[in-house]
Chains A and B, each alone.
Chain A
């Protein structure tokens, strides 16, 4: 597995993957952190968690995303933070897929079409694009998990960034 990648380019690829994954998490987290009650609604719409727990989770989730993003940017606990980011994306994919299956609109607050428009039509593409985006991010997190050693990481010089699947 290691031999597949050029040892000089791989740390740069890991850095790129870290920054993309962190950028998405940071933007998503920050937007929601600024509008906590909308963030709570955006968890409620999936109708997975009981309302009270969904609200609490909605207030906390944006800050967890921001925390993981910051760890990825500075490159601390890179492998574990990318595993956490990937796990979060897996949760999102499951949530979106079940909402799609149950025909739940996943818009929240006031930004309109979230899979089901006012006329009651189901727009598969809205769910699908969200899932495709999240799967892309999952692939990035898998890459970082396999090759956590990257450029400009505070993990460098510690045991936290040795490449390969071995522990």
Chain B
């Protein structure tokens, strides 16, 4: 009943229009899914910062011979990571500079374009020996909203200079997007390692419980029980 009343108002279905629309929708779906599959995997030819450890998913490593290995998975735009760093940054940097842990940083970029830019910039800073400083500064200067436009190449260069980086190689590294492809390798590895939230900290491959992340005493206890004194 209802069908016939509606048919009358619309006349015969226009097959050409219909097929054209179906074709366009199909194109959107196939192109979108194809692009997503094509662009989200590791790039073998990516240039990598000098501190990279190929065996650890192209993470940026410190003290490779220290016995306790700690992986840090963070996104520079992630507010929980900023809170985590506000509580634990000083402690983590101290045990790294004291040589007590083999640290591997995996700067992730799942929050979008400014995550990619900041992760690549941290790799540029790593080549200038300033990764830890850049890492701390990026969290300290995190924007209230993700991808809000605060991180451009120009601003990342200014931030690096404020940390004492003087080499023009740093500026070139950022302006040339030298490590943009490297961020895909880090992201790909994190995905395969089943890292589903940030921050994630692993001590010798075992996740530190999330409920310690904002409690410095409990967080440090996890390290001392792993032999970091």
Contact = CB atoms under 8 A, between A and B. Distances in A.
Interface of A: 2, 5, 7-8, 10-11, 33-38, 40-41, 44-45, 51-52, 55-56, 59-60, 62-64, 66-67, 70-71, 74, 76, 105, 107-110, 112, 118-120, 147, 149-151, 154-158, 161-163
Contact of A154 (B3, B21, B110): B21
B36 A63 contact: yes
B210 A71 contact: no
A5 B1 CA distance: 11
Contacts of B11: 157
B87 to A, nearest CB: 12
A108 B191 CA distance: 12
Contacts of A44: 191, 194, 196
A70 B26 CA distance: 10
B6 interface: yes
A67 B141 CA distance: 39
Interface string B184-206: 00010001101111100000000
B177 interface: no
Most buried by B among A76, A107, A147: A76
Nearest to A147: B2
Given A33-B36, A157-B11, 12 more contacts: A7-B1, A37-B187, A38-B111, A44-B194, A51-B191, A51-B194, A55-B40, A59-B36, A76-B18, A109-B75, A118-B213, A147-B2
Given A41-B191, A119-B211, A157-B12, A36 B112 contact: no
A118 B111 CA distance: 20
Contact of B3 (A52, A76, A163): A163
- Interface residue tally on B, bucketed by range: 35 or more
Specify which of B2, B13, B28, B80 lies most central, judged by the most chain A CB atoms within 10 Å of its CB: B2
A162 B210 contact: no
Nearest to B2: A7
Given A37-B191, A151-B6, A163-B3, A110 B25 contact: no
A95 B77 CA distance: 28
A54 to B, nearest CB: 9
A119 B80 CA distance: 14
Contact of A105 (B22, B80, B108, B197): B197
A147 B6 CA distance: 12
Nearest to B209: A120
B33 A64 contact: yes
Interface in B11-32: 11-14, 17-18, 21-22, 25-26, 28-29, 32
A163 B32 contact: no
B7 interface: yes
A11 to B, nearest CB: 6
Contacts of A156: 6-7, 9-10, 13
30 contacts: A2-B2, A7-B1, A11-B2, A33-B32, A36-B36, A40-B40, A41-B197, A51-B191, A51-B194, A55-B191, A55-B192, A59-B33, A63-B28, A63-B36, A66-B28, A66-B29, A66-B32, A67-B25, A70-B25, A76-B18, A76-B22, A110-B111, A110-B198, A118-B211, A119-B211, A120-B210, A156-B10, A156-B13, A157-B13, A163-B1
